């Protein structure tokens, strides 16, 4: 207990700032993954064969690539070696690193979002899409006004699981020097190896605090909004 309190009170380790960075990475990456994943899901169910093939290729290729490899490619390859900057050149290098980390997390988790939405689309009876086309709606209108609203209701649980996985996967960003929770943990262990169990407890409790409330919310709404067949 003494070690636990000593670590929390040590100004060298700003626990709140580290988990704050984890939360920022999670929120920004979740938004990016949702947008990109929705686009990929639409490609996966498109009536155009080449678009379906592109969507399937994206999911297969990215989902089977280690996240660490994608993060390192973005952080070291595109940013450090090639000098590709997503933010204005005047922005600090740390911000540039964070921007590329968000891109890497978004690109990777978009595959899981796309499959979650596609599974939700598959729960919508085919007859509803046929009825929408019968009254004159085109593919885009049918998808946006009839299918997707119901698909999201069926995809709430897997989307919640993806968000929780994304929160935990932000730890990979320590590989490119972003000062989030796992980066803080590594520094704590390096300089305080005798408090290793307290360090693990701090990080574990922090991630429980970040992931438990969203998990409960998604579970509640997945039950509340379940489409009765």
CB 99 within 8 A of CB 87: yes
Q: What's the confidence (pLDDT) of residue 226?
A: 65
Q: What's the confidence (pLDDT) of residue 5?
A: 63
Put simply, whether the predicted model's pTM sits higher than 0.85 gets the answer: yes
For the chain, domains (ranges, CATH) are: 20-179 (1.10.3720.10)
CA distances from 151 to 30, 41, 60, 63, 112 (A): 18, 11, 22, 22, 15
Residues of the chain under the 50 pLDDT cut: 229
DSSP code per residue over 152-189:
HHHTHHHHHHHHHHHHHHGGGGGGGT--SHHHHHHHHH
Dist CA 173 CA 166 (whole Å): 11
CA distances from 225 to 83, 207, 219, 221, 228 (A): 46, 27, 10, 6, 9
Q: What's the confidence (pLDDT) of residue 205?
A: 87
Q: What's the confidence (pLDDT) of residue 152?
A: 84
């Amino acid at each position: 207990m003494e070690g636990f309190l000593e670590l929390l009170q040590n100004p060298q380790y700003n626990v709140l700032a580290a988990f704050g960075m984890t939360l920022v990475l999670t929120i920004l990456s979740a938004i990016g993954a949702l947008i990109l994943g929705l686009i990929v899901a639409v490609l996966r169910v498109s009536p155009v064969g080449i678009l379906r093939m592109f969507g399937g290729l994206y999911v297969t290729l990215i989902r089977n690539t280690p996240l660490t490899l994608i993060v390192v490619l973005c952080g070291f390859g595109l940013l450090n070696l090639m000098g590709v900057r997503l933010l204005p050149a005047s922005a600090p290098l740390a911000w540039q690193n964070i921007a590329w980390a968000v891109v890497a997390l978004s690109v990777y988790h978009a595959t899981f979002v796309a499959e979650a939405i596609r599974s939700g689309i598959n729960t919508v009876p085919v007859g509803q899409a046929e009825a929408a086309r019968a009254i004159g709606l085109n593919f885009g209108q049918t998808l946006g006004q009839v299918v997707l609203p119901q698909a999201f209701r069926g995809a709430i649980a897997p989307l919640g699981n993806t968000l929780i996985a994304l929160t935990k996967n932000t730890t990979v960003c320590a590989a490119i020097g972003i000062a989030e929770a796992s980066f803080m943990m590594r520094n704590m262990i390096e300089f305080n190896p005798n408090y290793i169990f307290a360090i693990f407890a701090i990080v574990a409790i922090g991630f429980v605090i970040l992931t438990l409330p969203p998990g409960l919310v998604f579970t509640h709404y997945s039950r509340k909004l379940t489409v009765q067949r």
